[in-house]
Structure 1
Amino acid sequence: MPDRPEIVCICDSTRFVKEMAAANRELTFAGAIVLAPGVFVHAEERDAGRSVTDEQKTALDVLHLRKIDLADRVLVVNPGGYVGESTSREIAYARDTGKPVSFTDQPSDRATSR
C-alpha cells in the first residue's frame, strides 16, 4: 500500500464543468487527491462583466502546469473526444515531463499525436 494517495490532475476544457465535477467525485471516492481547474468563466459571467483578463488567463495556465508537476498522472476529461488548444498544451507538457496521460473518451488524432 502506498504511503500516500495517488494525485491525479484533471485537464479539460472549462466548457465541461459537469463532466469534470463527476470525474473529480469519482476519483475522490476512489481515494485519490484531485487537482483540477479552479476558475470557470462561462458565457453568462462574461456577459455580466466578470471575464478573466489575458494576464489572469496566463497566470491560470501556468498554475495548472504546476498542478501537473505535483500529480502522479493526468486525466483528460474530453467528452466526445474534444481536446482544445489549452488542453493540448497541457497534454504535451505532461508527456514531456513523463506523466502518464489518460482520457475519459477516445481523443482525436490531434490530441494523441503530441
Structure 2
Amino acid sequence: MPDRPEIVCICGSTRFTDEMRAANRALTFAGTIVVAPGEANEPVTEQQKAALDALHLRKIDLADRVLVVNPGGYLGESTRREIAYAHATGKPVSYTDPG
C-alpha cells in the first residue's frame, strides 16, 4: 500500500472547465489527490495570467502524473507548454481524448 494517494495535476483549456471539474470529481472519488488550474469568475489581466501559468507549472512539479482534459483533441498554447514542461520533468502524461 502506498504511503500516500497518487497526486494528479489536471491541465487543459479553460474552455473545458466543466470537463475538468468532472475529471476532478472522478479522480477525487477514486482516492486521488487532484491539483487543477485556478478558476476566475472575471477576466484576468496579462500579469495575472502569467502568474497563474507559472503557478500551474509548480502544480505539475507536485504531481505524480498529468491528466490533460482535451475534448475533441484540442490543445491550446498554454496546455501544449504545460505538456512539454511535464515531459521535460519526467512526468507521465495522459489525455482524456488521445485523438
TM-score (norm 2): 0.96
Aligned to 1:78: 70
Aligned to 1:29: 29
Q: Which has the higher contact order (CA 8 A, sep 6+)?
A: 2
| Structure 2 unaligned regions, length at least 5 | none
**In the alignment, is the contact (CA less than 8 A) between 1:9 and 1:35 conserved in 2?**
yes
Specify whether residues 14 and 40 from structure 1 end up closer, same or farther in structure 2 by C-alpha distance, changes over 3 A only.
farther
Q: How far is 1:4 from its partner?
A: 0.2
In 2: Cα distance, 1:12 partner to 1:40 partner? 15
TM-score (norm 1): 0.84
Aligned to 1:17: 17
Is 1:94 aligned to 2:86, yes or no?
yes
State the Cα deviation string for residues 77-97 of structure 1 (Å, max 9, x = none): 000000000000000000000
**In the alignment, is the contact (CA less than 8 A) between 1:14 and 1:40 conserved in 2?**
no
In 1: Cα distance, 2:53 partner to 2:18 partner? 20
What is the aligned length?
99
Aligned to 1:103: 95
Aligned to 1:61: 53
In 2: Cα distance, 1:18 partner to 1:93 partner? 24
- How much identity, in percent, do the aligned residues show? 77
| Structure 1 unaligned regions, length at least 5 | 42-49, 108-114
